[in-house]
Structure 1
Amino acid sequence: MQERSDVILERRTRTAGEEWFMSADDILDKNVINPQGDDLGEISDMRIGFPEGKVTYLVLRYGGVLGMAAKRFAIPPEAVIYRPGDDNFVVNIDKRRLDDEPGFEEDLWPREADYGLIQSAGTITPPTREEAEAMKREETPPPEVVTTERIETRPRRR
């Protein structure tokens, strides 16, 4: 006599903090500014790497007139800040840097993003009293929780 249990239901529940997704139509032609509010241009294209299928970089089109003589820069997607409802993406790049750099040619796309364009956030300092109070008032998203529930049948006899 052999006993065995059959798993008749395995349910996995996942809860996580808020995530935002955008379609390519929402990303392309979106204006880009830096934290100082300088206009850096717009997202004109994106590059997807395979076999991973992940966005390798966004193409920032800067300068030019009616798209002519514009420079193109490969911006890492993780350097782009977006908050739902904003009209602009924010990227920490000095506008003068874009003036000085050549960018890339239309027919010579780079294989990866140019991380050298992104300015570091600088020295991190403790928040002011007002900033600390504001942080306390903001709700933090719940941590991701994954639970698995297994329901088994009674042992079966053979």
Structure 2
Amino acid sequence: MTEPVAIGETDRLISSDKVEGTRVYNPRGDRLGFIRNFMVNKRSGQVEYAVMEFGGILGIGNEYYPLPWDLLSYDAKQGGYVVDLEKDKLEGAPRYNDGDPTWDEIYARQVYGHYGMTYPLF
């Protein structure tokens, strides 16, 4: 008998709707924000980055930080993603307020470079 296809979560897979809204912490357990969404390369199917929402009050003044997906690791104990960043590192990070930034190779290299990573050409 064939097992049904997972649509929610397994031990290694998670559906996109369960990722959205998941909290993001630093290693000390400080809450940095939450995952607003993540962006998938249309051709390769690879997740390029997650958009972390941070700041603001009641949705006003929020800022959105593209984080390379490989920075995030899931911590089941915290029920969220952990990224090895302090809040001061976020202050100088690439971010935007409204709409989507133009995600081209130049911007991608700035984002990845800020976190000491090389932008992978998928």
Q: Which amino acid aligns with 1:77?
A: W
CA distance in 2, matches of 1:93, 1:119: 12
Match of 2:115 in 1: 118
Contact 2:26/2:32 (<8 A) preserved: yes
The one-letter amino acid paired with 2:25 is: I
**2:28 is aligned with 1:31:** no
| Alignment gaps of 5+ in structure 2 | 1-10, 118-122
- Shift in alpha-carbon separation, 1:110–1:58, aligned structure 2, 3 A: farther
The structure whose residues are more often strand, as a share, is 1
Q: Are the structure 2 counterparts of residues 65 and 40 from structure 1 closer, same or farther at C-alpha, using a change threshold of 3 Å? A: same
Mark the CA change 1:116 to 1:94 in structure 2 (over 3 Å): closer, same or farther. Answer: farther
Where does residue 64 of structure 1 map in the other structure?
A: 56
The residue number in structure 1 matching 2:6 is: none
| Partner residue, 1:7 | none
What are the within-5 Å matches in structure 2 for residues 83-98 of structure 1? 83-84=75-76, 86-98=78-90
User: Are the counterparts in 1 of residues 93 and 114 from structure 2 also a CA contact under 8 Å?
Assistant: no
Larger relative contact order, structure 1 or 2 (CA cutoff 8 Å, min sep 6): 1
TM-score by length of 2: 0.70
Q: CA-atom RMSD, angstroms?
A: 2.3
Q: Percent identity?
A: 26
Quote the offset at 1:36 in angstroms: 2.0
Contact 1:93–1:118, Cα closer than 8 Å, also in 2: no
Whole-Å separation in 2 of the counterparts to 1:81 and 1:50? 23
Is there any run of 5+ residues in structure 1 with no aligned partner, and where? Answer: 1-18, 121-158
What's the offset of the Cα at 1:35? 0.8
- After TM superposition, the structure 1 stretch with the greater mean CA deviation from structure 2, 39-48 or 100-109, is 100-109
SS at match of 2:17: helix
